[in-house]
């Protein structure tokens, strides 16, 4: 059942095995801990194969990243900065390759800032 108050910016399948739920922020301020908590709340109750992808053109505050690290055993969330997005849009690397590399890094080093 869909939550009518929940806004999800985008979804897609990665390699037919991982479902990605994404949020994109094109704001002047960095993503706060509250915004990160709200996004992680969208992942609650979803299967373990769901990966969160949070894009922020203004980056992420340290409290937001600290909260994400604290929740890393519960949810897999990848963060994308403006520089990452620019490289992906240039195809350096293409999105599927970037996601595969970022997921591997997150799984190998769960408390990193990937």
Per-residue pLDDT at 4: 60
**β-sheet bridge partners, residue 60:** 31
What the chain holds in terms of domains, given with CATH numbers, is: 10-108 (3.40.1350.10)
The per-residue pLDDT for 20 is: 95
Which segments of the chain have a pLDDT < 70?
Answer: 1-5, 111-114
pTM of the model: 0.87
């Amino acid at each position: 059942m869909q939550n009518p108050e929940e806004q999800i910016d985008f979804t897609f399948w990665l390699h037919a095995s991982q479902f990605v739920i994404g949020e994109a922020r094109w704001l002047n301020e960095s993503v706060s801990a509250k915004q990160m908590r709200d996004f992680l709340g969208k992942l609650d109750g979803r299967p373990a194969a769901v990966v969160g992808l949070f894009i922020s053109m203004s980056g992420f505050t340290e409290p937001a990243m600290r909260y994400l690290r604290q929740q890393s055993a519960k949810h897999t969330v990848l963060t994308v900065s403006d520089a990452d997005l620019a490289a992906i849009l240039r195809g350096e690397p293409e999105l599927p390759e970037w996601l595969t590399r970022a997921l591997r890094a997150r799984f190998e080093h769960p408390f990193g800032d990937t």
